[in-house]
Chains A and B, each alone.
Chain A
Amino acid sequence: GQNIDQPTEMTATEGAIVQINCTYQTSGFNGLFWYQQHAGEAPTFLSYNVLDGLEEKGRFSSFLSRSKGYSYLLLKELQMKDSASYLCAVRDGDYKLSFGAGTTVTVRA
Chain B
Amino acid sequence: DAMVIQNPRYQVTQFGKPVTLSCSQTLNHNVMYWYQQKSSQAPKLLFHYYDKDFNNEADTPDNFQSRRPNTSFCFLDIRSPGLGDAAMYLCATSIYTGTGWETQYFGPGTRLLVL
Contact = CB atoms under 8 A, between A and B. Distances in A.
B43 interface: yes
A93 B18 CA distance: 34
A41 B108 contact: yes
A40 interface: yes
A95 B88 CA distance: 22
Interface size, B (range): 20 to 34
A84 interface: no
Interface string B85-109: 0001010001010000101111111
Interface in A49-97: 87, 91, 94-97
Interface residues of A, number: 24
A109 interface: no
B31 to A, nearest CB: 6
Nearest to B96: A95
B42 interface: yes
B106 A44 contact: yes
Interface of B: 4, 31, 40-43, 45, 48, 88, 90, 94, 96, 101, 103-109, 111
20 contacts: A8-B40, A30-B101, A33-B103, A35-B106, A40-B109, A40-B111, A41-B108, A41-B109, A42-B4, A42-B106, A43-B43, A45-B103, A48-B103, A95-B31, A95-B101, A97-B104, A101-B40, A101-B42, A102-B40, A102-B41
